[in-house]
Amino acid sequence: MSLRNTNHRWGLLSQLFHWLIVALIILQVTLASLADDLPPGARKLTLLARHKSVGITILMLVILRLSWRSLNLTPLLPATLKPYERFLARFTHAALYVLLFAMPLSGWTMSSARGFPVSWFGFFTLPDLVPKNKSLYAALLTTHEALAWVLAAVVTLHVAAALKHHFMLRDDVLRRMLPFTTTGRGPKA
Amino acid sequence: MIVKSSAAARARLRDRAVRVPALLLATALLSSRVAAADAPGVRHYVLDPARSSLEFTFLQAGAQNKGRFKSLQVSFDFAPDNLAASHLDVVVEINSLDSGDEERDDTLRSADLLAASKFPQAHFAAAQIARSAAGYEAIGKLTLRGVTRDARIPFTFRTATENGAPVGYMSGKTSLRRLDYGVGQGDWRATDQVPNEVGVSFALRLSAH
C-alpha cells in the first residue's frame, strides 16, 4: 500500500496519523479521568503532567497531519451520498480538526492562566500563552471540559457513520482507513 | 490503650527533652548576641521586611516554578574586621509561603511536604561567618521540618547610609536537597515530577540598631 493517499484510499502515513491520534485521545481521556478522581498530590501532578505532554503531542501531530493532507489527494466521498450526508461528513471532519486544535490550545492556555507552565515530558517548557489570571483559568477549565464533551459527541457521530458505511452500506469507507485490508477499488495493498 | 498512652507519654518526654536544651540554647544565643553587640565594631542588624525577599525555586513537572516566604526574622551581628564576633540567625515562618497558587500552597504546607502545622518554623543559626571568594559564608545549622543539618550559605553584604541611618544589603543564592530534610514523604519522595534540588535565593535589606 502506498505512503500517499489516492482518490480511493488513505495512504499509510494518513492512516498512521489517524490511528495514532485515536490512541492518544483514548490515553488523554484515561489520564484526565484518573487525575480527576484524585486529591491534590504527587500522583495527580504526575497524571496531569502526562496529560499535558500528550496533549501537546497531539497538537504537533495535528499540524503535521494537516500539512500532509494539504500535500496529498483527499480520497473522494462515495458518489452515493445524498447532499445532506455529504455536508454532514464534511462538517464532522472539519469539526474534528477544529477540536484537535481547540482541545490542546485551551488546555495549554488554561495552564498558563493558572501559572503552571507546560513542559513537554520534561524535555522543554512551552511559553505561557497568557499571563496568570484566576478568572480566565476558571473560564478555560469550563471550556476545556465542555469541548471534551463536544469532541465525544462528534467522535460518536464519526464512528457511527463509519460503522454504518461498513455494515449497512457495505462500502469501502471504513476499510480505506484501515491498514492490511483491501478495498474494492484502486491498487491492492 | 496502654500501648497508646505510653507512646503518648514517650512523645511528651521527647518533646520536653527537646525543649529544655532548646531553651538553654536560646538563652546562650541571646547572651552571646548581647556580648557580640557589645564587641568592638560589631553592629546589630534586623530585617526591613517591606524591602526584603526570600524566594525558593523548584521544578514541577519539568517547568520552573517560584515561591516566597513572606514572613521571616533576621538577626545579624556583623563586623567585617571581627568575624569571630559575627553571627547570623534567621527564622522563617513556613505558613507564610506563597507559591502563587492557593491549592499548591496548601499542598506545600501539608504533612507530606513541609508539615507546617507540626513544624511552623525553619531556622538557620550560623555562629560562624567566614570570608569567601564571592563575599562571605554563614556556617551553621539549618533546621527544616524538624531535621537539623550542617549548612553553609554564601552571601554578599554591603552597607550604605540611607537617610542618615546605616543599612545593609545581604543577598545570596544556594540550593538544598529537600529530601535531606524529609520534605517529601509518601508519594512526594519521588523526584521525577518534583526534583530533590530546590533553589533558595534571598535579597534582604537590613537596618542597623
Identity at A87, one-letter amino acid code: F
Sorting pLDDT into bands at 50, 70 and 90, what band is A186?
Answer: very low
pLDDT in tens, A165-184: 999 988 888 999 998 777 66
Pick A41's closest partner by Cβ from B61, B62, B187.
B187
- A28-51: average pLDDT: 94
Task: Note the pLDDT of residue A182.
Answer: 72
Task: Note the pLDDT of residue A189.
Answer: 37
Give chain A positions within 8 Å (CB) of B108.
Answer: none
Task: Note the pLDDT of residue B15.
Answer: 53
Give chain A positions within 8 Å (CB) of B190.
Answer: 42, 46
- A9-24: average pLDDT: 95
Task: Note the pLDDT of residue B106.
Answer: 95
- Each residue's pLDDT, cut to its tens digit, for chain B (209 residues) gives 444 445 555 555 555 555 555 555 555 555 455 444 556 789 999 999 999 999 999 998 888 899 999 999 999 999 999 999 999 999 999 999 999 999 999 999 999 999 999 999 999 999 999 999 889 999 999 999 999 999 999 999 999 999 999 999 999 999 999 999 999 999 999 998 899 999 999 999 999 98
Task: Note the pLDDT of residue B3.
Answer: 45
Q: Which candidate, B90, B103, B99, places its Cα nearest to that of B55?
A: B99
User: How many angstroms separate the CA of residue B124 from the nearest CA in chain A?
Assistant: 28
| Interface probe with B: pick from A116, A128, A132, A134, most Cβ of B within 10 Å | A116
User: How many angstroms separate the CA of residue A6 from the nearest CA in chain B?
Assistant: 42
Task: Note the pLDDT of residue A188.
Answer: 41
Element (DSSP H or E) covering residue A59: helix A42-70
> What's the rounded Cα separation, in Å, for the pair B199 and B195?
11
Give chain A positions within 8 Å (CB) of B188.
Answer: 41-42
pLDDT in tens, A97-125: 999 999 999 999 999 999 999 999 989 99
Cβ–Cβ gap B187/A119 under 8 Å: no
| Interface probe with A: pick from B57, B58, B59, B101, most Cβ of A within 10 Å | B101
Cβ–Cβ gap B60/A48 under 8 Å: no
pLDDT in tens, A20-29: 999 999 999 9
Cβ–Cβ gap A45/B106 under 8 Å: no
Task: Note the pLDDT of residue B209.
Answer: 81
Task: Note the pLDDT of residue A187.
Answer: 45
Task: Note the pLDDT of residue B19.
Answer: 52
> What's the rounded Cα separation, in Å, for the pair B206 and B209?
10
Task: Note the pLDDT of residue B40.
Answer: 72
Task: Note the pLDDT of residue B136.
Answer: 97
Pick A114's closest partner by Cβ from B101, B106, B193.
B101
pLDDT in tens, A50-90: 999 999 999 999 999 999 999 999 999 988 899 999 999 99
User: How many angstroms separate the CA of residue B106 from the nearest CA in chain A?
Assistant: 9
- A139-165: average pLDDT: 97
Task: Note the pLDDT of residue B85.
Answer: 93
Cβ–Cβ gap B65/A116 under 8 Å: yes
Predicted TM-score (pTM) of the model is 0.81
Cβ–Cβ gap B63/A116 under 8 Å: yes
Cβ–Cβ gap A43/B187 under 8 Å: yes
Task: Enter the C-alpha cell of residue A119.
Answer: 513542559
Task: Note the pLDDT of residue B36.
Answer: 47
Beta strands in chain A (DSSP E): 119-120, 124-125
> What's the rounded Cα separation, in Å, for the pair A50 and A36?
13
Element (DSSP H or E) covering residue B69: strand B63-69
Cβ–Cβ gap A117/B112 under 8 Å: no
Give chain B positions within 8 Å (CB) of A107.
Answer: none
Give chain B positions within 8 Å (CB) of A120.
Answer: 62
CB-CB contact of A165 with A171 (8 Å): yes
Q: Which candidate, B180, B181, B175, B184, places its Cα nearest to that of B152?
A: B175
CB-CB contact of B109 with B76 (8 Å): no
Residue A4 pLDDT greater than 50, yes or no = yes
